[in-house]
């Protein structure tokens, strides 16, 4: 086990060599390439994507299908190559959540999914080829309805 400093929990232990290497950085954060995926202790199905290089840099991520059941992961061939995807490799995808002071206003970035090749521990933040997706998809239906009206 190795110890790391985290934004949310202070010092925690993680398995050695369990970091995920981003082959293409999270947009706006080019200096951090190594992250850990940590389960949130107080919020089931939400995770911290914690930077190894910068303890104050962490993103809340979640499976987009929790809030958008018809969400489809769609990314291009160059991203597949960066992830070094081969037959039999497993991938998981998350979206970054923006949780403001009032959690009722929470949004998720369904345009820029985080995709992880589980087998090789490689990741990218892609740009979805679904043009109708947005960086600020309202999580709660009330807010989605307001956008339509």
pLDDT tens profile 97-145: 999 999 899 999 999 999 999 999 999 999 999 989 999 999 987 544 4
Among 22, 23, 96, 82, which Cα is nearest to 52's? 22
- What pLDDT was estimated at residue 131? 84
Task: Give percent of the chain with pLDDT exceeding 70.
Answer: 95
- Residue 49 pairs in a beta bridge with 37, 59
pLDDT tens profile 69-85: 999 999 999 999 999 99
Residue 63: pLDDT above 60?
Answer: yes
Helix (H) or strand (E) run with residue 138 in it: strand 137-138
- What pLDDT was estimated at residue 43? 87
pLDDT tens profile 48-57: 999 999 999 9
Query: What is the pLDDT averaged over residues 32-50?
Result: 94
The answer to whether the CB of 113 falls within 8 A of the CB of 142 is no
Q: What are phi and psi of 146, to 5 degrees?
A: -60, -35
Task: Report yes or no on whether pTM surpasses 0.85.
Answer: yes
Up-side HSE of residue 97: CA atoms within 13 Å toward CB?
A: 25
For the chain, give the mean pLDDT. 92
CA quadruple 48, 49, 51, 52: dihedral, nearest 10: 90
The answer to whether the CB of 139 falls within 8 A of the CB of 67 is yes
Up-side HSE of residue 87: CA atoms within 13 Å toward CB?
A: 0
Q: CA 76 → CA 40, 56, 67, 110, 139, distances in Å?
A: 30, 31, 24, 15, 26
Domains, the chain: 2-148 (2.30.290.10)
């Amino acid at each position: 086990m190795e110890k790391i400093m985290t934004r949310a929990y202070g010092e925690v232990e993680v398995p050695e060599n369990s970091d995920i290497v981003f082959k293409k950085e999270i947009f706006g954060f080019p200096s951090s390439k190594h992250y850990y995926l940590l389960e949130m202790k107080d919020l089931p199905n939400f995770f911290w994507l914690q930077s190894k290089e910068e303890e104050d840099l962490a993103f809340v991520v979640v499976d987009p299908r929790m809030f958008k059941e018809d969400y489809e992961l769609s990314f291009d061939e160059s991203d597949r190559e960066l992830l070094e995807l081969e037959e039999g490799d497993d991938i998981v995808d998350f979206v970054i959540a923006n949780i403001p002071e009032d959690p009722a206003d929470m949004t998720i970035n369904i345009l820029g999914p985080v995709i992880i090749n589980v087998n090789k521990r490689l990741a990218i933040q892609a740009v979805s080829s679904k043009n109708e997706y947005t960086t600020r998809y309202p999580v709660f239906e009330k807010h989605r309805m307001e956008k339509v009206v």
